[in-house]
Structure 1
Amino acid sequence: MTTRALVITSSILAENGQSNALANRFIEQANARNDIEVTQRDVVKNALPHLDISELGAWQVAAAERNAEQQALAACSDELLAELRGNDVLVIAVPMYNLGIPSQLKAWFDRVLRAGETFRYTENGPQGLVEGKRAIILAARGGQYAGTEFDSQTPHLKTMLGLMGIKEVDVVYAEGLNLDEQQREAAIKEAFQAIDQLVEGL
């Protein structure tokens, strides 16, 4: 049985980004197996515009009733939703920018967090509609924030994933990467080991 993994990268530093190095490690380990199929999406290289009212409005029109403009506006989100649904594991490689996630990654989330598609409102609050999937967050940070009040990034990502119904979330941290060379090497090595274990368990 093949496991399908969607890897989202969001570093503005391209091949020099440490979060991309974590993503590449996951991809290399996954490609070494015959039962994991990887799809990559770089939301910086293939940037999405900020969500606006025209695109939001297009989603709220039934697909069969959309005019040409609305069809074009809705096509992007529809494509991302199909890609998300077509994979079993969502891998999010994310740097920390100003204590949060890159705006490019937020633009991706804005298009997959859609009422009626990935969640719905009920009397008991929102209910996720994306079932049977897990997520892996690969977080690269210049400082050390995990477990502190400054780490607003991890709960934000987990909350957005949970809104869709993805509750099984593993987080791999590579922290203190800008402190000194020894710390950076140790953190990357530890993160790579954690990634290897996660891939082995897929």
Structure 2
Amino acid sequence: MRPYATRSVNGWSWLRDTEKRERLAVAVLGFAVGWIIASHYGLSGYTLWLRWKTASGIEPWRSAALAADPVVGQKVSLPVLPDIEGKRVSLPFPTGYTGLVFMTDPRSCQTNSTLRSIKQKQVTGRFSGLNLFIVVPTHHPEQARRYWQEFGKDFHILLDPEARLARALNVVFENRAYLFDSSGRLLYLTRFQQDGEEIERDVLRIIAGGQQR
């Protein structure tokens, strides 16, 4: 009898079985391929988990999309929201323009790079009259803190714990940016599917009194 044929007490003897090793290799390979395909189509385990929570009604912020998207030119009733320090902020601002950036996906490189670009341009005086807020889901408190540390001096960080603003704007799974005038009329909406520089040009054109979009 071969020495390793005796049953081991350490629980690892099954790895010596060629058939079991092959099954394990196939399972690992199948999982890896499935994960790559799912990630490519936006179906990662995290996303699927969020979609399940939305369907089950467990997470109110994620199950907020019940109404149609607001359209440009429409007046939207914006609620009072707390900022990261607990202060209540009334929206929109009575003067200038109010920009809201929903960070439902804090890992978006395009959204982050656009925000950093706007931050740099604000130092030079561009985007004057724009009151820009970052809205972070309350189930991402660590992301709210990180954005507060990175952008707090230029952008106000707001929380939407009861999903009131998310329901009003029909925001669920993607980063979006909105621009409102002082009356609450929607002037611009983007889902960050276009180039960041194009988004900046659109916003600057509107602030300068150009074509509304």
TM-score in same-fold range (> 0.5): no
TM-score (ref. length: structure 1): 0.28
Q: Which has the higher strand share?
A: 1
Which structure is larger by alpha-carbon Rg, 1 or 2?
2
TM-score (ref. length: structure 2): 0.27
